[in-house]
Amino acid sequence: MAEAALRFVGFTARELVVERFFADGKASTWSVADRELGWINKAGVSISIEHGEAPMTFWDQGRRATREDAAQRGQGPAVMFVGGSNAQSYGVIDQESFPFLLGQRNPDLWIENFGNGGYSTAQALLMTERAVGEFYKADAPQLIILTFADSHVVRNVSDQSWVYKISDSQGRYVSPPHFRLDGDQLSFRPFQTIGTWPFETWSALVTTLHNVWMQSVVFDSVDESVLVTQRVLAQFADFSKANGSDLLVVILEDRTEVSERVFDGASFPVLNCSGYERSNPDEYLLGGDGHPNAKLHIHFADCIGSWMNGYFESRSSEGGS
């Protein structure tokens, strides 16, 4: 009777839908599964599904191309970009991405882009730790530039609003690595695949019960998202300092304008390059509601490049390398 009543009012059984970015064997699949990070950019060329269908080149260890030849890099200070899809530069060709543009403008710098689509600040921290240990090794980057979008706040706590948007190659929900508060302490939660409950794929009742469980108990975490994000950013700053790197956080997207709360009292420099995604999306976003287009990437390169010029001039005047 409960099953019939739920179906009568429009509830349905769970349908396993594969996330299009994680589907096996598709030209648009830019990712490959990673046990620690959840996923990572897949080496090769992937085709964007957004306006223009741009080809995007990815190198090994999850890097997006920042120059024509991976083996030819600047011999000066190393600059590492990391973050979500805006850092990854999803939707534009390599030469239009802001890290590539900055590399062209500053050929002496060694610029690498470890931005991965869908990443939270928590995943970006894990990626940075891996890159410093396995890619840069004993020579950590002089400058780490972490990009931030307001969507990262709920991702950092794996709130149900984010969990429902991502699924693996079998259509199962996943919870990416994230943090929660355990009392007053930050508690790390590793990547988790969320399997279906028995009979969920044919029962509206079981599906509803599972959804209520996730939304009200396991992944009802939005209330602690800002504080957790602040704590994760503090960990990021501590890690950078411990490895001899300077940290800059760049706000690239802030549609909900939560960044003022997130970065209140921050101990590291914060550069706000956002705004056009709110004020003029038709001109600066792919298709008017997608990722940043080439014009917005030029703005990002100008905004970040101006800060970098001042940073390196200051380092030079202080006798730094």
Tell me, what's the pLDDT at 25?
81
Residue 319: what pLDDT? 66
Angle at 80 (CA atoms; ends 233, 259), nearest 5 degrees? 35
Check if the beta carbon of residue 217 is closer than 8 Å to that of residue 209: no
Res. 179: pLDDT tops 50:
yes
Q: Region 121-145: what's the mean pLDDT?
A: 96
CA dist 239 and 245 (Å) reads 8
Residue that the structure tokens 């005047």 belong to = 317
- Boundaries of every domain in the chain: 2-317
> Helix, strand, coil: what percent of the chain each, to 5?
40, 20, 40
* Per-residue pLDDT tens over the stretch 234-254: 999 999 999 999 999 999 999
Q: Over the chain, what is the mean pLDDT?
A: 95
Return the SS3 of 87: helix
How far apart CA 74 and CA 204 sit, in angstroms, is 58
Question: For 155-177, what is each residue's pLDDT tens digit?
Answer: 999 999 999 999 988 899 999 99
Q: pLDDT tens, 180-227?
A: 999 989 999 999 999 999 999 999 999 999 999 999 999 999 999 999
- Inter-residue contact 109 to 119 (CB < 8 Å): no
List pLDDT tens digits, range 252-299. 999 999 999 999 999 999 999 999 999 999 999 999 999 999 999 999
* Burial category of 161 from C-beta neighbours within 10 Å (exposed 0-12, middle 13-18, buried 19 and up): middle
pLDDT 10s digits, 23-50: 788 899 999 999 999 999 999 999 999 9
Q: Is 2 exposed, middle or buried (0-12, 13-18, 19+ CB in 10 A)?
A: exposed
pLDDT higher than 60, residue 74: yes
Q: How far apart are CA 270 and CA 285, in angstroms?
A: 23
Opening angle at CA 99, ends 158 and 127, nearest 5: 35
Mean pLDDT in residue range 302-313? 97
Which residues are CB-neighbours of 99 under 8 A, at least 6 positions away? Answer: 64, 66, 81, 87, 89, 111, 113, 115
| pLDDT value of position 42 | 96
> What was the pLDDT predicted at 135?
97
Q: Which pLDDT value is given to residue 20? A: 77
Q: pLDDT by residue (tens digit) across 93-123?
A: 999 999 999 999 999 999 999 999 999 999 9
Would you state the pLDDT for residue 321? 46
Asked if residue 200 lies in contact with residue 92, where contact means CB atoms within 8 angstroms, the answer is: no
pLDDT at 320 over 70: no
The domain over range 2-317 is classified in CATH as 3.40.630.10: no
The Cα–Cα gap between 270 and 248 comes to 6
Residue 86 confidence (pLDDT) above 50:
yes
pLDDT tops 60 at residue 233: yes
